[in-house]
């Protein structure tokens, strides 16, 4: 066996024959010997069948991440180029004059493990979240410069490629934090559009600057905004609120623990062309405490958006997360009268739709109130979920109508 080959234990190859991309350390019989991290490894089942080529990282719990499946040749620069083109082309219909902010590459879902690329107008924001993606950064930057102009629909004029790698992802791979401009000149604050709604984004901010995974959900929720007072909990830069303002909400209350996010949210609401100015209130507070306080103060809203950060980062945290989600939803429901609407989300990959529905139902039961599920939410089409990799489905939610 050559140095860049690896064999799995008996019975552990089956899920990879149906394209599951992750191999944990416990499934490996013979690891590759002193592997150059630049080289993908060829993975074999215990019976000798070739399973495919994978990135290898001995410092990560996810030891192997498949790039390609079956007996094909080792992925080379041409393979990466074609795989990147395929990812870009799958998003053609999702962009245009109305939408210029989108996820272009979604890691394992696009057969490029550890690589995230977001488009924020004319700026590309990349994250290298696996060792295998990290070592290839010069190649990816070169390929992006070459491919983006031809494969991203107009209007598009590449100004900069910037790195904003997420801290947690890199830490789990044993990689140092890494941020900065990789190519071009970064416009400080610029405008992007989503479903025709304008937003200011700061590609220099901590995160990737905009959560494109909520695109379709913002559109759906905005259909219910007309004539309603809105409370946007964990609003970030006001994604849902800007839509709600453009669609006739009567007032907006923004709640987030980040002051810069709130400041940007106010600007984003002001960008919308609204016939009559509407009152906007900001609460720079912790959502858990503030929702309880608002309920004690007997405040009322007609439509609440509740989009907290990941509350279940690990399996061990699931029980605590159940209580946290229930608590947030319970206090949100206390702010809604009969007919009130709650758009509630979880972006924890480990929390299923069924888990979230159960915890919300506990909240309604404690309050002795009936409620309906009016809509069910997932993640936007630029964050596809491979049929054989349900782990990619992290965003879920419901639109709940309080009956009494
Ligand atoms: N709804 C937003 C995205 C939300 S991201 C959109 O459509 O763009 C999660 C947000 O929760 C972040 O802005 C973060 O600042 C905020 N947040 C995290 N913990 C919080 C807490 N305890 N209280 C209030 N906001 C919190």
Q: pLDDT tens across 200-253, in order?
A: 998 665 555 899 999 999 999 999 999 999 999 999 999 999 999 999 999 999
Distance (Å, whole) CA 313 – CA 291: 23
pLDDT, residue 170, reads 87
| Ligand 1 binding pocket includes 256 (Cβ within 6 Å) | yes
| Ligand 1 binding pocket includes 11 (Cβ within 6 Å) | no
Q: Which two tokens mark 16? A: 């990879």
Please give the DSSP secondary-structure letter assigned to residue 79.
H
Q: Whose CA is nearest to atom 10 of ligand 1?
A: 234
Q: pLDDT tens across 170-180, in order?
A: 888 888 888 89
Q: Which two tokens mark 331? A: 């206090």
Distance (Å, whole) CA 107 – CA 386: 11
Spatial neighbors of 307 by CB under 8 A, at least 6 apart, are 214, 233, 234, 235, 236, 240, 343, 345, 347, 397
Q: Whose CA is nearest to atom 1 of ligand 1?
A: 235
Question: Mutation test of ligand 1: which of 234, 239, 321, 342 has the most ligand atoms closer than 8 Å to its C-beta?
Answer: 234
| Ligand 1 binding pocket includes 214 (Cβ within 6 Å) | yes
pLDDT, residue 202, reads 83
User: Distance between the two ends of the chain, CA-based, in angstroms?
Assistant: 68
| Ligand 1 binding pocket includes 234 (Cβ within 6 Å) | yes
| Global confidence as pTM | 0.96
Closest-lying ligand 1 atom to the alpha carbon of residue 307: 1
DSSP structure string for 102-128: EEEEEGGGGT-TTEEEEEETTEEEEEE
Is residue 183 within 8 Å of residue 161, measured between CB atoms? yes
Q: pLDDT tens across 362-382, in order?
A: 999 999 999 999 999 999 999
Is residue 104 within 8 Å of residue 91, measured between CB atoms? yes
Q: How many alpha carbons fall within 13 Å on the CB side of residue 225?
A: 25
Spatial neighbors of 365 by CB under 8 A, at least 6 apart, are none
* Catalytic entry in 6, 234, 347, 382: 347
Q: Does the annotation count 347 as an active-site position?
A: yes
Average pLDDT, 10 consecutive residues per value, the chain (404 residues): 84 96 96 77 96 93 96 95 98 98 98 97 95 94 98 97 85 86 90 96 70 98 98 98 97 97 96 89 98 98 98 94 98 98 98 98 98 98 97 98 97
pLDDT, residue 1, reads 47
Using CB atoms within 10 A of its CB, is residue 131 exposed (0-12), middle (13-18) or buried (19+)? buried
């Amino acid at each position: 066996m050559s140095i860049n080959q690896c064999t799995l234990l008996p019975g552990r190859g089956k899920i990879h024959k149906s394209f599951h991309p992750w191999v944990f350390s416990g499934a490996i019989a013979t690891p590759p010997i002193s592997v150059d991290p630049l080289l993908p490894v060829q993975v074999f089942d215990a019976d000798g069948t070739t399973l495919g080529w994978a990135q290898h990282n001995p410092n990560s719990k996810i030891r192997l991440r498949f790039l390609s499946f079956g007996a094909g040749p080792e992925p080379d620069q041409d393979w990466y180029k074609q795989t990147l083109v395929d990812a870009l082309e799958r998003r053609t219909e999702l962009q245009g004059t109305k939408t210029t902010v989108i996820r272009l590459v979604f890691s394992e879902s696009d057969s490029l493990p550890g690589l995230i690329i977001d488009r924020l107008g004319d700026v590309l924001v990349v994250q290298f979240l696996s060792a295998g993606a990290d070592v290839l950064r010069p190649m990816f930057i070169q390929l992006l410069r070459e491919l983006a102009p031809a494969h991203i629909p107009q209007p598009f004029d590449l100004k900069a490629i910037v790195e904003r790698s997420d801290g947690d992802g890199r830490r789990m791979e044993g990689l140092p934090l890494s941020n900065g401009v990789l190519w071009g000149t970064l416009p400080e604050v610029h405008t992007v559009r989503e479903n025709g709604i304008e937003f200011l984004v700061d590609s220099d901010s901590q995160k990737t600057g905009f959560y494109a995974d909520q695109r379709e959900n913002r559109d759906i929720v905005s259909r219910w905004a007309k004539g309603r007072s809105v409370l946007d909990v964990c609003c970030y830069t006001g994604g849902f609120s800007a839509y709600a303002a453009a669609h006739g909400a009567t007032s907006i209350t923004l709640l987030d623990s980040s002051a810069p996010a709130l400041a940007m949210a106010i600007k984003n609401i002001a960008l919308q062309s609204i016939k009559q100015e509407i009152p906007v209130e900001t609460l720079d507070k912790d959502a858990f405490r503030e929702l309880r306080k608002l309920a004690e103060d007997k405040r009322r809203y007609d439509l609440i958006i509740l989009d907290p950060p990941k509350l279940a980062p690990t399996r061990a945290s699931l029980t605590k997360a159940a209580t946290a989600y229930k608590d947030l939803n319970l206090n949100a429901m206390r702010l809604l009268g009969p007919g009130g609407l709650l758009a509630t989300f979880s972006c924890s990959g480990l929390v299923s739709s069924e888990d979230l529905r159960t915890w919300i139902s506990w909240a309604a039961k404690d309050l002795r109130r009936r409620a309906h599920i009016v809509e069910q939410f997932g993640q936007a089409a630029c964050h596809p979920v491979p049929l054989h990799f349900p782990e990619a489905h992290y965003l879920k939610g419901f639109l709940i109508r309080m009956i009494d």
